[in-house]
Structure 1
Amino acid sequence: MIRELPHLTRRSMASPWRMLAMRAGMALSLLAVAFCFLWFDRDGLKDNLDGVVTFADTLYFTMITVTTVGYGDIVPVTEKARLIDAFLLTPIRLFIWLIFLGTAFELLFKRVYERWRMKRIQEDLCNHVVIAGFGKNGSSTAERLLAGGLKPAELVVIDCCEKACEMARALGAAVIQGDASRDELLEAVRIGQARRLIVSAGRDDTGILIALSARKLAPGLPIAIAIRNQDNEDIAEAAGASQVVNPVTVTARLLAEG
């Protein structure tokens, strides 16, 4: 049985609910414009039921005209009213339908397409850099890699924190939120086809566990890991790390050399 892998995500340019609210506002504004023109020219309308066009009749006629329902109980009878219907209400009707179709595309078709696109990206990952842990060290490393010529499409980030994931998406990286020590997440980022794994988990035990999991899945993968406690450096190397970096030791060396 084939397991469905977790999905990658990228930054969204705008919130779907914000876009929906904006489009609903545009549609209501257009309806208001149409109603105002019909209300001020209500003498050009004829109500076949009682002959009187009231406020409710005008609102009713606006809605059925824009939605192209048209029951024939209220009709434009003067030339001016028909010109308003032809040159004002028809464009408004078309714009509103375009807004509705655009919203349906945004909320349904585009979301389905985006999931399909991210799945394709996920399946085609190769020769990419994976950063497990996007805290201060992980984000700084990503920025240096991108400044050094790494393409955002070649960067994949795994982190449990939603805020960290949002920061990674802002850089253009592909992101999976979750525990990087889990085999399924490492498989999801195609760790076996990765160019390099950088582990900056914030805790030595977590980082070492991630290195162990990655080494099991990708025996030849270069793994760089940040270790805080000097006593854990040998353990990290035994876990499969190709490069062990202790920020405290590095800082002390730089200060001593300076």
Structure 2
Amino acid sequence: MKRAIGKPRFYRRSGLSQRFALGLRVGAALLLVGIALAGHWLDREGLRDNADGSVSFLDVLYFTMITVTTVGYGDIVPVTDRARMFDTFVVTPVRVFVWLIFLGSAYNFLLRNTWERWRMAAIQRQLDDHTIICGYSATGQEAANELMRRGCPPGEIVVVDEAEDALEVAAEQGLATVHGDATHNAVLAAAGLARARSLIVTPGRDDTAILIALTARRLAPQVPVAVAIRATENEVLAQDAGAAVIVNPISFGGQLLAGSSVGPHLADYVSDLVTSHGRIAIRERTAAPDELGRHLRDVRPGQGLRIYRGGQAIGFWEDEAVLREDDVVIEVVPQGVVGSPQ
């Protein structure tokens, strides 16, 4: 049986769940009212009922609630100095705090929620040329951090996840968030997939990642999809699902460790190459008009590594590595060079 899903929604970080926060407020209001009720009951001799002259527990309950919520009707009044002082220094502050709790609850659960829904809907409508990250575990968080280190504004990154604690982490970083299952069309549509620059898929499960890639390919075939795959045998499935880039962190980490055992500086160089805080950066770009007809080895200021032409990869050592129109160049440049990947 297919699991029913709710409407995808933009998520706003909250320190407490709404149900717990509401319960806390109700409990505080009841405690304050209980203090006033106990004081009036213990000093009921200081009250006078103008209707029948006797003060019962129901009279005390009625008088307490009316006094806390309004100023009373005058049918039951304090007549002794002690009862009047209790109303002055205890019941009056209780009334103020209870009203603050009521007003705060109305703001939090009605006005602010309405405002946040309107604001998030406005953000959703304005999303354009942004990056979507599906799954905000360790890999997704590192991808977002690296994007921001490379100059991508937090507002141009949208995190999609079903776990609210993951969305809280993303919201703390200033990222836009969508709460929902990214394997569903409506959720990716809510994240603005059709207008996105790219999609990064890191849910932590290969089957989920492949399904997200398939869903994205159907909704927005023009958006490049990068997928993190853990099992080598699933890389072909991810490619068939439409992933433009497939990264296997387990395989890559193992290969890097193996290489480092014979070349201790390899890991340092690769880290320098792929992160924003190194001395060099790797970038992908289209060949510039003034570079056409030049060999890849002669391209400056970077060091050309590879050309992609019609799906074919051409290395810098090959004779046919002469730049043509629409060639895609992969090169290494000094960190900070204008045009480095954002």
Q: Please classify the TM superposition score into its range, dividing by the shorter chain length.
A: 0.7 to 0.9
Q: What letter corresponds to residue 118 of structure 1 in structure 2?
A: M
The answer for the alignment partner of 1:115 in structure 2 is 117
Q: Between Structure 1 and Structure 2, how many residues are aligned?
A: 251
Shift of 1:191: 1.4
Cα distance in 1 for residues equivalent to 2:69 and 2:250: 68
Q: Percent identity at matched positions?
A: 48
More strand, by proportion: 2
Does residue 1:133 correspond to 2:132, yes or no? no
Partner SS for 1:137? helix
Contact 1:10 1:175 in 2 (8 A): no
Bigger-Rg structure (1/2): 2
Q: Equivalent residue for 1:176? A: 179
Q: What is the SS of the residue equivalent to 2:178?
A: strand
Query: What is the letter of the counterpart of residue 165 of structure 2?
Result: E
Structure 2 contact 46–82 (Cα < 8 Å) conserved = yes
How far does residue 187 in structure 1 lie from its aligned partner after superposition?
Answer: 1.9
Cα distance between partner residues in 1 of 2:241 and 2:30: 62
Which position in structure 2 is the counterpart of 1:166? 165
Q: Which residue of 2 aligns with 1:93?
A: 95
Q: Which residue of 1 aligns with 2:76?
A: 74
Shift of 1:189: 0.9
Q: Distance in 2 between matches of 1:184 and 1:238?
A: 23
Q: Which residue of 2 aligns with 1:243?
A: 245
Gaps of 5+ in 1: none
In 2, distance between residues paired with 1:64 and 1:202? 57
What does residue 212 of structure 2 align with? 210
Larger RCO: 1 or 2 (CA < 8 Å, sep 6+): 1
User: CA RMSD, aligned part only?
Assistant: 3.3
Deviations 1:89-144 (A, max 9, x none): 33322322222222233223332222222222222222322122345533443454
Rounded Cα–Cα distance in structure 1 between residues aligned with 2:42 and 2:209: 72
Q: 1:10 maps to which residue?
A: 12
Distance 2:33 2:250 in 1: 65
Greater share of residues in helix = 1
Secondary structure of 2:9's counterpart equals coil
Report if aligned partners of 1:227, 1:245 keep a CA contact under 8 Å in 2. Answer: yes
Please name the residue that 1:221 is paired with: 223
